[in-house]
Structure 1
Amino acid sequence: MSSHGISAKESMIEIRRFYLALSLLMAVLATIGFWPQYFRPLMSGGVAADTAIHIHAAVYVGWLGLFIFQCLLVAVGNIRLHRRIGNLGFLYGIGVVVMGLSITIARFTAKLNDGGIAAVEHTSLAPATDMILFSVFFAAAAYSRFNPERHKRLMIVAATSLLIPSIARFVGSFELEPAIRHTVRLLLWLSPIYLAFGYDIYSRRLAHPTYIIGAIVITLFNFRSPLQYTDTWVSITHWLASIVD
């Protein structure tokens, strides 16, 4: 085998290991925010939460575990099994969206019952749009499954989009000025994409447009809070309240 062939093979192994390491980093980021209030008490048997919350947590942990396992299969070169499990992963991704929206509606309904329409007029924008963000990138990843270069990058962006609840809780546990807190939250949220972007530059001398688009979209979503005070969003919450009431 030529030295060029060996170099290409070693490069592919390195790239696959990088994506596995990145998936593990995302697992850490997904855990840190929920560790004090959920995972640590859960391990000691002291967590008090509704059954729906436990199911929600189990679904998301399962998704993260499946994501890491898929990266591991690619890292060890078992592409055939990776693709077979990918069919299950697509269905699981739909389940993640359904569960996320179900929890959002359940919390919306609870607030509505406790405080009336005034209590929900300016709520639920973030969790609802989080699911939209994930759905778009996940659907694009599924559609691009026969284009490995685009598929894996879209999966990274989709998985990154789910990190915001944990990142927000983690950064919110520190006493920071609002502007600093907002900046730190965005930097941590986007850190997997930044690392993947940098690795693209290092390994390919060119950044894939998927990361650029993903970073821009997620950044824009980070500034969505004022939208919940618009007449349009208030109208949406009134419509939703008329359905769930």
Structure 2
Amino acid sequence: MVAIADRFPQPAGRDDGFFLGGALAMTAVTIAGFSLQLGMGRSSFGAPPLVHAHAVVFMGWVAIYLLQTTLAATGRIDLHRKLGWLAAAWIVPMIVLGVAITVMSVRVGRAPFFFRPAQFLIFNPLSLFTFAGLTAAAIVMRRRTDWHRRLHFSGMALLLGPGFGRLLPMPLLIPWAWEATAAVCLLFPIAGMAADLRRTGRVHPAWTVGVGVTLALIAAIEALTFSPLGPALYQAVTRDTPGAAIAPLAFAHPPGPPP
């Protein structure tokens, strides 16, 4: 990736406004989604400690991303660099807690009813690992601001699924609820491509990497879910738990009394 970057000089002019606006929009999507969930009584503060730890760490990342983007846009580069190493370390508990909460959900049989349980078990961890990969690439490319911020932006877009999933009419999107959410998240890097094209007349190759990796992730999740490996993985993870009684590829009945 460094070799590819060397063939493309940093574009002239500043694009701070787009990235700061994008960070604000991503933050708004996340806060709006979870606030709506809480306001409608679909979530409460009575959740297990693991859920609270997961929420604190992931909302912490949203705050870090917004702060880092703001620091870069306002010229506070020294502080931006110092905070960057905290951000890098923050990814570790995000992965640990993200995988843990996913496993806990399928074991107790509480995967969201508009997702196939096996697909939920696969896409949550794989999305996190892909986010971590794009973020690590952004850190490696930190001396190339044009690549750095676009790879970070593409990684952050992968984390918007839970926010959008609480804003979109997910039950009405069955059986394509997850695919629809993934497609909406892609709108952010696509907007970045459009902004580059309008400002410089070309699309920066970092967007091609970000969007390409995201599309490859979606294809891998679909392939794993509907291959024999998907149900087998689900059965291995849920063995001897209430989740084992749930069909890996079947949609659960919505909460409430049966019809």
Provide the TM-score with structure 2 as the length reference. 0.74
In percent, how many aligned pairs have the same letter?
A: 22
Is 1:155 the counterpart of 2:115? The answer is no
Is 1:165 the counterpart of 2:162? The answer is yes
Quick one: structure 1 residues 96 and 244, their matched pair in 2 at CA, closer, same or farther if it must change by over 3 Å?
farther
Q: CA RMSD in A?
A: 3.3
Aligned to 2:184: 188
Aligned to 1:88: 86
- How far 1:56 moved relative to its partner? 1.0
Instruction: Classify the secondary structure of the residue corresponding to 1:170.
Output: coil
- Code of the residue aligned with 1:148 in structure 2: it is T
Unpaired runs of 5+ residues, structure 2, are 1-10, 111-115, 243-259
Unpaired runs of 5+ residues, structure 1, are 1-10, 113-118
Residues 31 and 166 in structure 1, CA contact (< 8 A), matched pair in contact too: yes
Quick one: structure 1 residues 46 and 126, their matched pair in 2 at CA, closer, same or farther if it must change by over 3 Å?
closer
Distance 2:18 2:117 in 1: 43
1:145 to 127, 130, 142: 142
Residues 137 and 155 in structure 1, CA contact (< 8 A), matched pair in contact too: yes
Distance 1:177 1:232 in 2: 22
Distance 1:211 1:61 in 2: 25
- Cα shift readout 1:44-90 (whole Å, capped 9, x = no counterpart): x9543222212111111110001000011111101111011101110
Is 1:214 the counterpart of 2:210? The answer is yes
Is 1:234 the counterpart of 2:235? The answer is no
- Cα shift readout 1:207-239 (whole Å, capped 9, x = no counterpart): 112212322332344453463232222333344
Residues 29 and 167 in structure 1, CA contact (< 8 A), matched pair in contact too: yes
Is 1:71 the counterpart of 2:69? The answer is yes
- Code of the residue aligned with 1:234 in structure 2: it is P
- Code of the residue aligned with 2:226 in structure 1: it is Y
Distance 1:156 1:239 in 2: 35
User: How many aligned positions are there?
Assistant: 226
- Cα shift readout 1:163-221 (whole Å, capped 9, x = no counterpart): 11222332234745756x67753442112212211111122222112212322332344
- Code of the residue aligned with 2:95 in structure 1: it is V
Residues 134 and 158 in structure 1, CA contact (< 8 A), matched pair in contact too: yes
Distance 2:186 2:158 in 1: 8
Residues 54 and 97 in structure 2, CA contact (< 8 A), matched pair in contact too: yes
Is 1:35 the counterpart of 2:35? The answer is yes
Distance 2:202 2:240 in 1: 49
Residues 41 and 47 in structure 1, CA contact (< 8 A), matched pair in contact too: no
- How far 1:240 moved relative to its partner? 3.8
Quick one: structure 1 residues 207 and 100, their matched pair in 2 at CA, closer, same or farther if it must change by over 3 Å?
same
Deviates more, 1:196-205 or 1:81-90: 196-205
Quick one: structure 1 residues 12 and 79, their matched pair in 2 at CA, closer, same or farther if it must change by over 3 Å?
farther
Which of the pair is proportionally richer in helix?
1
2:96 to 98, 104, 107: 98
Moved over 4 A (4+): 11-14, 39-42, 119-123, 176-179, 181-184, 241-245
Q: Which has the higher contact order (CA 8 A, sep 6+)?
A: 2
Is 1:110 the counterpart of 2:101? The answer is no
- Code of the residue aligned with 2:153 in structure 1: it is I
Aligned to 2:130: 133
Residues 108 and 241 in structure 2, CA contact (< 8 A), matched pair in contact too: no
Instruction: Classify the secondary structure of the residue corresponding to 1:49.
Output: coil
